[in-house]
Structure 1
Amino acid sequence: MLPTIAGTWWAWVILGFALGVLEVLAPGYIFLGFAIGAVLTGVLVGIGLAPGGLAALVLIFAILSVAAWAVLRRVVGVREGQVKIWDRDINDQR
């Protein structure tokens, strides 16, 4: 196990919950993927499957966060009609 705080499982879980709270304050599924990635990294560190070293843990966190974001994007997605497509300029005269 790492001698630094990055090697402790609870630090990753606390980071995940803090990012989850930040997601509630700034909704839009921006921080939720990072929160899920941090909690999963904490679980991997806790059960001993994560490799040692800060660089490896950050890489695992990044990969898990991107995977979580991709799953969230697939599940939640962009709702139809959410994006407004303008067909004329506001300054056009009719």
Structure 2
Amino acid sequence: MSALNGWYWLIAALLMALVEVLLPVWLFLGLAIATAVMGLLLLAGLWGGSFGWALVVTGVLSGVIWVLLRRAMGVQHGQVKIWHDDINDNHP
């Protein structure tokens, strides 16, 4: 893979980071970071695998980064709703 492909990965990472700003769901942030790491690996010449393996490694890395971000940031106040009463319970 040429070094130019690394630039394509970095551009894709920036686009995913932009999507994360527009739709803050943490999913795109992990994917953007993983894609940026793969782009940097390509530019540095440290990745010699195929495109398919690059996608697999990026996907796995994205999942790991998502878990780390979730642990670091935790659950935000109001993100999870806990119901104490069931709608089917007959309360006077």
What range describes the TM-score normalised by the shorter chain of this pair?
Answer: 0.7 to 0.9
Structure 2: which 5+ residue stretches go unaligned? none
Unmatched runs of 5 consecutive residues or more in structure 1? none
TM-score by length of 2: 0.84
More helix by share: 2
Aligned residue for 1:19?
Answer: 16
Aligned mates of 1:82, 1:27 — CA distance in 2: 13
Alignment of 1:80-91 (within 5 A): 82-90=79-87
2:41 corresponds to which residue?
A: 44
Question: Matched residues in 2 for 1:37 and 1:91: separation?
Answer: 45
CA distance in 1, matches of 2:48, 2:61: 14
Percent identity, please. Answer: 40
Q: Distance in 2 between matches of 1:57 and 1:69?
A: 18
What does the per-residue CA deviation read over 1:14-37, in whole Å, with 9 as the maximum and x for residues that have no partner? 110000000111112121000001
Which residues of 2 match residues 3-82 of structure 1 at below 5 A?
8-79=5-76, 82=79
2:40 alignment partner AA: V
Aligned residues: 90
Two-structure CA RMSD over aligned residues (Å): 1.8
